[in-house]
């Protein structure tokens, strides 16, 4: 018998820990998720190339944002160096595929691994530094890595950067927007499934304990140094993967693509989406990636009535971007994810919302 998969549960009636830990809280959710995944898998069939391209960029940003959220949202270690780590991923893949002639399928995981190692290296100070000081140290990492990238001409092509190719399987090249979307989609799915499960394991729980109170966590027997460096490692792995995907998508890597403003954009994504939430990173990535596009089209519409609006678009983007960050911080610090779960909770008991 097929029942409506979008029927909501009307409360939580868990009787043991196994139910509490379950990803699918009720069996029917499974079908709902499968349908949503199928919807996104089928979406390029109807959408134009431009929209599919935007979706690809959103997805790649989401992979990076999930990576950053593992570090900042779940483990509480603020990093302002994501931009440079994206760059490490992109450049590793670029160097391995163009200079060494390796296949994308080998270079891609290696890019993640290299970024993870670099990330872990810059995570070592996290044992002594926390909060503000760590944020400043990662900012230094950003500046130093970018300097190395733009100066090591023989390896990285200096400020001009490197040109990449799209990946291939046999004679098939992921040249079209749609095919690259599917490549991104598979990686994104793996990232989401991995990170959702990560926080059901010992390691993930340790990360959360460190975020909530690191000294208390240490007293409980969590090796702070090991888990903090591990958090940097895992987080940077996904950021590097995202960097490599982005590099092969835009087919160019150059230092100015990985500036500090990129780091800030990624921080904004997890903040707007929701710190410490896997799906929040996804919503935030989509929000921040699409914001300039939406603003652009609004300006296009309005420029008929307000000439000169075109000229201030760059400045306007910055103002809107900053204002969005501040407004979210003031009015909904838990981000889009919280807004979405508030909506769901409202309808869970609707129309008897007073029965808690």
Partner 1 sequence: MAFFLQMLVTGVVVGSVYALVALGFVLIYKSSDAINFAQGEFLLIGTYVCLTLVASYNVPFIAALLLALAFSALLGWSVEKVVLRPFIGKPVISMIMATIGLSSVLAGIVHIIWGHETRVYPPVFSEKPLQFGEVIIAPVYAWSFVIVMIWLMIFTLFFKYSRFGIAMRATADDQQAALSMGISVKTIFAIAWAIAAIVSAVGGVLLGNINGVNSSLSLIGLKVLPVAILGGLDSIPGAIIGGILIGIIESMTGGYLDPLVGGGLKEVIPFVILVIILMVKPYGLFGKKEIERV
Nearer residue to partner 1 within complex by CB, 66 or 96: 66
CB of 245 to partner 1, least distance (A): 26
Q: Name the one residue in this structure whose structure tokens are 């130093």.
A: 144
Task: Using the minimum distance from each CB to partner 1, give the nearer residue, 151 or 200.
Answer: 151
Asked if residues 217 and 210 have their Cβ atoms less than 8 Å apart, the reply is yes
Nearer to partner 1, 79 or 115 (CB): 79
Q: How far is CA 83 from CA 52, 59, 233, in A?
A: 24, 16, 16
CB-based contacts of 79: which residues, under 8 Å, 6+ apart?
68, 71, 72, 134, 135, 138, 232, 235, 263
Nearest to 249 by CA among 319, 321, 179, 328: 179
What is the smallest separation between the CB atom of 128 and partner 1, expressed in angstroms?
6
Q: Report the candidate in 83, 234, 105 with the shortest Cα–Cα distance to residue 166.
A: 105
Residues within the interface to partner 1 (CB under 8 A)? 72, 78, 80, 125, 128-129, 131-133, 135-137, 139-141, 143-144, 147, 150-151, 213, 215-216, 219, 260, 264, 267-268, 271, 275, 312, 314-326, 329-330, 333
Residue linked to tokens 């869970």:
348
Give the Å distances, CA to CA, from 254 to 87, 94, 283.
8, 10, 27
For the CB of residue 284, give the shortest distance to partner 1 in the complex, in Å: 12
Least distance in angstroms from the C-beta of 64 to partner 1:
17
- Taking the least distance from each CB to partner 1, the nearer of 56 and 254 is 254
Least separation in angstroms between CB 317 and partner 1: 7
Residue 27 Cβ, how far from partner 1 at the closest point, in Å? 37
Tell me whether residue 80 or residue 245 sits nearer to partner 1 (CB atom): 80
Tokens of 100: 């060494």
Q: For partner 1, give the closer residue by CB, 257 or 324.
A: 324
């Amino acid at each position: 018998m097929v029942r409506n998969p979008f029927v909501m549960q009307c409360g939580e009636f868990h009787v043991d820990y196994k139910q509490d830990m379950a990803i699918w809280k009720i069996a029917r959710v499974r079908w709902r998720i499968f349908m949503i995944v199928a919807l996104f898998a089928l979406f390029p069939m109807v959408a134009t190339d431009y929209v599919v391209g935007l979706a690809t960029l959103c997805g790649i940003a989401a992979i990076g944002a999930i990576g950053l959220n593992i570090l900042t949202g779940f483990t509480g270690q603020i990093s302002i160096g994501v931009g440079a780590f994206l760059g490490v991923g992109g450049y590793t893949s670029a160097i391995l595929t163009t200079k060494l002639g390796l296949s994308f399928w080998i270079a891609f995981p290696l890019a993640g691994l290299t970024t993870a190692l670099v990330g872990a290296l810059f995570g070592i100070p996290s044992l002594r530094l926390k909060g503000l000081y760590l944020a400043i140290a990662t900012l230094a990492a950003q500046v130093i890595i970018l300097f190395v990238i733009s100066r090591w001409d023989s390896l990285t092509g200096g400020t001009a950067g490197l040109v990449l190719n799209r990946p291939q399987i046999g004679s098939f090249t992921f040249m079209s927007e749609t095919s690259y979307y599917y490549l991104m989609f598979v990686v994104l799915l793996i990232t989401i499934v991995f990170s959702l499960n990560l926080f059901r394991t010992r390691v993930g729980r340790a990360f959360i304990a460190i975020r909530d109170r690191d000294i208390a966590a240490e007293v409980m027997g969590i090796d702070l140094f090991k888990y903090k460096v591990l958090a940097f490692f895992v987080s940077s792995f996904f950021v590097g993967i995202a960097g490599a995907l982005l590099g092969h998508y835009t087919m160019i890597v150059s230092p100015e693509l990985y500036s500090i403003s990129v780091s800030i954009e990624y921080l904004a994504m997890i903040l707007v989406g929701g710190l410490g939430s896997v799906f929040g990173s996804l919503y935030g990535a989509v929000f921040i990636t699409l914001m300039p596009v939406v603003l652009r089209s609004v300006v296009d519409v309005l420029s008929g009535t307000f000439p000169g609006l075109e000229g201030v678009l760059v400045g306007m983007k910055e103002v809107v971007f900053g204002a969005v960050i501040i407004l979210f911080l003031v009015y909904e610090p838990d981000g889009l994810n919280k807004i979405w779960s508030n909506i769901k909770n409202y309808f869970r008991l609707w129309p008897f919302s007073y029965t808690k």
